[in-house]
Amino acid sequence: MILHQISLLAFLLVLHRGLTLPVRDVSDPSMPLQLTVSPALVNRYTAKTMSLRCEHNPSVPSKVAEIIIMRIFKKSTSGWDLVAEQRDVVSSPTVTGNVTASANIKGDIQDAFLQVTWNTLGPDCFGVFKCNVMGFDSNDDTITERSSTLEVYEFKNFIHHLIALSVDTQRKMLEMENFTDSEITRLNDGFQVMAKSVHTNQSAFDSRLNKLENRITQQEMSMDTEISQVEKEVKDNKISLVMAHSEISEMEKEIKDNKVSLAVKGNEISQVKSDLLDTEDAIGEIRSDQNSTLDRVAKLETLLGSLIQWPAGHYALLKPKTGCPADLAFYGENRAYLKLHTESQSSRQSDDHSSAFPSDTKSTVGSNRFFTLQFCEVIRQFNTASWPNGSFCIHKLEDHSCPEGFNSGSVHFDTEDSSDKTEDNTNAAFGTYLYFCCQNSGPANTPIQLPIHSPFLLYRHGGACQAVQGMSITNEYLQINTEDDRNGDSIHDHYPDIDQYGTSVIQFNLCYYTKL
């Protein structure tokens, strides 16, 4: 019994060493990025916080020369959910859920990192994670590098599994021992019964011999008869003894057979242990295949994400309060503007705009009023796809043609006469002329595909906002009060939906798109 318990404990110790690691690091050493978790053994009853850190793998050279964005994702039933990201155009990371984050993506990739911390441990801390980085290489080409996946599970789950497995194994061993003990007890009881029978027969034989001696002393005449009777009884007792020895031999054979049965049971237990090890190896292979599948899914997600980009051509979008779209097409071109000196003496309807535009769109310096339009210009080409058919307008860039399928036009503003302080630092305008590219090649209620990662603005054209897949729409406006005295505002060729009030107020109607 004690030997069985010692063997059981040794087996459970080996099994324990194979199951208690809660962090499965399936990282590929050839990946340029790596994910690490702290602490290594995560349990919500012994640890108060948990951190994940994405950084450069020092053993693998990186091709990233300039970083644009670094992200950490978590696997869910619907795909990969964003946990945190750091962009080069914002000062602090953006996070999802109850986490805090810190990051540095300035300078060399070897010093870059993105770290998230859960200050309260819960189910969102555990699962499968990965990270990636986007940027430019030394040839100014776009590049994406990533880490392999990291599986984080709670430490207590493996302990519970080990305890359950230990109890089940001990129960089976106890059943086998009880079976063996009961068989040995039954055989011992049978042997004792037979020995008692032999002892009883021997006592009876001695008693008869004593009687025979008395009878020989008393009756010598009947001695032959008595001797014959005694001989017969002796013969019968010899037969009984032979039978007893035969039964004892049978018992010994049964004991030997039980020992062989016990040996077979031991072999069966060894086979069960071997099957458990084979099962663990099979589980490891299944998890390896799963990780390979997840890696293929991640590659597919990256490919799908690159399929929908801002279309080709040289153009500009009006910049909303949320900034230019997070797309390589607009990277680095966020400072283009047109500052109009609007009517400053009139008490009539003045400059105005809706909530989608920056707070500094309207400004006043002394008695002078100004209206500033900010632009997101595309001057570098990262895509060859054409614009989808629809009904909307964008801005034309000076010295460039409109993208294929668009028609050009312009609006001229007659600015304040008293002092022309209009400023322009954009290719979408020249002096007081604002250029447009418009198309009316498809119904506005048929959704088109455009990048949905960031909010953006389109000019309304044809009376209704163009529908975009995956985006919600709000109607917005810009109202500009130009010179009241002998106003010379003019519109030419193709332009967005405009409302004019009196002779000196122009209202542009726009559509603001945000992700559903």
What's the pLDDT tens digit per position in 231-285? 787 777 777 777 777 788 888 888 888 777 777 777 877 787 787 888 788 788 8
Higher pLDDT, 205 or 229: 229
Dig out the tokens for 248 from the structure.
């004892």
The predicted structure's pLDDT at residue 26:
46
Answer yes or no: is pLDDT of 176 > 70: no
pLDDT in tens, 383-396: 888 999 999 999 99
Dig out the tokens for 179 from the structure.
């079976």
Answer yes or no: is pLDDT of 500 > 80: yes
Higher pLDDT, 142 or 170: 142
254-258, 262-266, 316-320, 503-507 — which is least confidently predicted?
262-266
What is the percent of the chain where pLDDT is above 70? 79
Dig out the tokens for 496 from the structure.
């967005």
Q: Which of 132-136, 299-303, 500-504 has the highest mean pLDDT?
A: 132-136
Answer yes or no: is pLDDT of 163 > 80: no
Dig out the tokens for 44 from the structure.
């919500």
Higher pLDDT, 432 or 171: 432
| Domains parsed from the chain with CATH numbers | 23-153 (2.60.40.10), 177-305 (no CATH), 315-515 (no CATH)
Rounded distance between C-alpha atoms, residue 421 and residue 441, angstroms? 39
The predicted structure's pLDDT at residue 211:
77
The predicted structure's pLDDT at residue 462:
95
The predicted structure's pLDDT at residue 10:
45
The predicted structure's pLDDT at residue 334:
62
127-136, 191-200, 396-405, 506-515 — which is least confidently predicted?
191-200
The predicted structure's pLDDT at residue 362:
92
The predicted structure's pLDDT at residue 20:
37
Answer yes or no: is pLDDT of 32 > 80: yes
To the nearest 5 percent, what fractions of the chain are helix, strand and coil?
35, 30, 35
Answer yes or no: is pLDDT of 21 > 60: no
Q: With cut-offs at 50, 70 and 90, classify the pLDDT of residue 146.
A: very high
What is the percent of the chain where pLDDT is above 90? 44
Q: With cut-offs at 50, 70 and 90, classify the pLDDT of residue 205.
A: low
Answer yes or no: is pLDDT of 199 > 90: no
Answer yes or no: is pLDDT of 215 > 70: yes
Q: With cut-offs at 50, 70 and 90, classify the pLDDT of residue 149.
A: very high
Residues 6+ apart with CB under 8 A from 393: 436, 437, 438, 439, 458, 459, 460, 461, 494, 495, 496
Residues 6+ apart with CB under 8 A from 117: 49, 50, 51, 99, 100, 101
412-448 in b/e burial notation, b at 16+ Cβ within 10 A? ebbbbbeeeebebebbbbeebbbbbbbbbeeebeeeb
Cβ atoms 513, 468 nearer than 8 A: yes
pLDDT in tens, 451-466: 998 999 999 999 999 9
β-bridge pairing 336-342 and 150-152: unpaired
Whole-number mean pLDDT of the chain? 82
pTM of the model: 0.44
The predicted structure's pLDDT at residue 188:
72
The mean pLDDT of 123-147, rounded to a whole number, is 93
Answer yes or no: is pLDDT of 435 > 80: yes
